[in-house]
Structure 1
Amino acid sequence: MSEILSSLNNLRTLRAHSRDYALDVLEEMLQKLEVVVTERREETEAQEAEARDKAEKLAMYRELLQEDGINPADLLSGMEKRGSDMKKKRAPRPAKYQYTDASGEVKQWTGQGRTPSAIRIALENGKSLSDFML
């Protein structure tokens, strides 16, 4: 909690701070605080009403499904299967470049991701990326 809100939440501290202000300024602060509290209360009530409406609709749909002999779990299981079909893994990218690493092993690179150190060093020494093309 911030220092300001801690002060507002502590009556003793609030009394001490209020001695520094005139009564009309304190009344103006009170009005503004009441506006903030009212707005917050309305937001909370709206969220609660929305949650109640959603719960009522879910109960109504559950009843309709049961009247038609449909188990709600069957609907969900059908959606899970369809979602897993959509998440197909893409094929790996073909290699574009070939290089020899520090240990003398010939390797290939797709051109994506971090540049291999052997290619990076060669590029710094004046070689071109086209020198490594397959």
Structure 2
Amino acid sequence: MNELIKTLLNLRSLRAFARDLTMEQLEEAYGKFTTVIEERREEEAKIREEQAEKEAQLAAIAKQITEQGLDVNELISALSSNKPAKTQAKRQPRPAKYKYTDASGQEKTWTGQGRTPAAIQEALNNGQSLEDFAI
């Protein structure tokens, strides 16, 4: 795509490219380019019109605020306080499912999630079952 852009934007490259095309192909490309350009102009005009309309609405609202004698900071705080605070509920810790004794002799628990503790994994490798450690 980058080569296409370079060819289209460089007059010398475009002339060299056009030598390989027939006049009908060039006229067809010209018509399509004209259509695309007109569509883009219409889209950009519509966007500018919508932006101008939005700015006019904001100006009208600002005028109403000043006519009513409202303080902008109070209005902002009133609008922001209406939104419910999005708080994410903290998940409760999972209860322990398994109890085991580690290599240092301390008794520990495991919820069954995450990596299997080394002491339990060693026992499983030696033929014990996970149910042997159940609480």
> What range describes the TM-score normalised by the shorter chain of this pair?
0.7 to 0.9
Residue 133 of structure 1 deviates from its aligned partner by: 6.4
Larger displacement relative to structure 2 (69-78 or 42-51)? 69-78
The residue that corresponds to 2:87 in the other structure is: 88
Is 1:60 aligned to 2:85, yes or no? Answer: no
Deviation at 1:101?
8.6
Normalized against structure 1, the TM-score is what? 0.74
Structure 2 unaligned runs (5+)? none
- Give the direction of change, closer, same or farther, for the CA distance of 1:90–1:110 in structure 2 (3 Å limit): farther
Q: How many angstroms apart in 2 are the aligned matches of 1:7 and 1:46?
A: 30
Q: Residues 16, 76 of structure 1: CA spacing in aligned structure 2 closer, same or farther, 3 A cutoff? A: same
Separation in structure 2 between the aligned mates of residue 48 and residue 107 of structure 1, nearest angstrom: 65
- What is the DSSP-based 3-state SS (H/G/I as helix, E as strand, rest coil) of the residue aligned with 2:117? helix
Question: Counterpart of 1:26?
Answer: 26
Please say which of residues 86-95 and 2-11 is displaced more in the overlay.
Answer: 86-95
- Describe the superposition over 1:1-43 as per-residue Cα deviations: whole angstroms up to 9, x where unpaired: 7211221111000000000001111000000011111111111
Distance verdict in 2 for CA 1:2–1:102, change over 3 Å: farther
Q: Is the CA contact (8 Å cut-off) linking 2:100 and 2:133 kept in structure 1?
A: no
Q: What do residues 81-119 of structure 1 show as CA deviations (whole Å, max 9, x unaligned)?
A: 344x522241332313455596666255485xxx23428
Give the total of aligned pairs.
128
Identity of aligned residues (%): 27
Answer with 1 or 2: which has the greater Rg: 2
